Amino acid sequence: MIREALLVLADGSTFEGELLGADPPNGVASGEVVFNTVLTGYQEVITDPSYAGQIITFTYPHIGNYGSNAFDFESARPFCRGVIVRDMARRFSNHRAENSLDAMLLRHGVSGIGGIDTRRLTRLLRDTGAMPGAFGTADEATLRSAAAAETGTDGIDLVADVTCASPYTVAATSSSRTRRIVAFDFGIKRTMLRHLAGLGTVEVVPAATTAAEVLAGHPDGVFLSNGPGDPAMVGYAVETISELLGQVPIFGICLGHQLLSRALGGETFKLPFGHHGGNHPVRHESTGQIEITSQNHNFCVDPASLDGRVEVTHVNLNDHTNEGMRVLGAPAFSVQYHPEAGPGPHDSRYLFQMFAELMDGGARLDLAGGRRNA
């Protein structure tokens, strides 16, 4: 049965569609509306904790074609506020599929809206920036009020909503890997844990874990994960990272990159509509090589705010924003994009091997290796 629904943005724009997935409470689902340009990997996108507080618009017109399965979940459940698509596949076909995407959304209480002109919506967001919105079966006035009341992701600590409640351990996938890695869960993805488990035993810890607690276990390395929201609101993590710098090798990804930069005195700012997709070209500064990367972030590091302790290592070729850095005089580096590729291209997976070399004391911190370890 078709359930008519409406999408209303904070600027008053309206889009007619039909409700998908779960019924939203009181007929309203609200959040910050962003768009993602991936062609595949919709399940990994929806279950990425970095989308907490956001409604995801998929620019690819047909979503759900290959269904869903338990293995491709990047977290225990979706944290996004909703999903917007042009056409949700009514039938799925893939040997790995266990159910439809619509059934997955329903099971986890996530609402969606289909039949939306996502080209028009994406052009609007691209020109005006990500903005609050609301969709559902409620009347237009109610949805308009909900969109106006939505605060978005600025100035909110969303990490506290997605981090684990207590530490847990992920065993190394090889008995020859004896390294011990502490991974901060700012919204960590399971694909990241799979890569780290290939390097050693991983102890995943809550975002508020102190430096003293980390160092007490004598880890070989510390990993700073991805996560949602405004890095300026996660000051407790910045303080911890500043205390860990120089004490243990550090590798940061996405929000972890932003938090590391703030621990070094850098500043972060919000991008107009963020980087969300699997086709962003990034230049490796020391080699000139171009990596096609997976991206998912709304905030960015201001390279002009970084002092002489930091060298920029990667640059986004779409808008020339900062995509990576290394710390001079300390065993630490980070990237803004997602080298674990869950989903996305695999060009940058060599960075995990670089982290292994750094923990072993033999890495070249100029990041000049390019794809040599891919």
* pLDDT tens string 155-213: 999 999 999 999 999 999 988 889 999 999 999 999 999 999 999 999 999 999 999 99
- Stretch(es) of the chain classified as CATH 3.40.50.880: 159-359
Quick check: 235 pLDDT over 80? yes
* pLDDT tens string 71-85: 999 999 999 999 999
Quick check: 369 pLDDT over 60? no
Quick check: 372 pLDDT over 60? no
Quick check: 357 pLDDT over 80? yes
**Domain 4-149 part of CATH 3.30.930.10:** no
* pLDDT tens string 32-47: 999 999 999 999 999 9
CATH architecture entry for 159-359: 3-Layer(aba) Sandwich (3.40)
Quick check: 146 pLDDT over 70? yes
* pLDDT confidence band for 62 (50 / 70 / 90): very high
**b/e sequence 288-304, b meaning 16+ C-beta within 10 Å:** eeebbbbbbbbbbbebe
pLDDT at position 222 is 98
Positions marked catalytic: 254, 338, 340
- Stretch(es) of the chain classified as CATH 3.50.30.20: 4-149
pTM: 0.94
46, 176, 178, 250, 349 from 372: Cα distances, Å: 32, 22, 23, 21, 10
CB 130 within 8 A of CB 33: yes
pLDDT at position 41 is 96
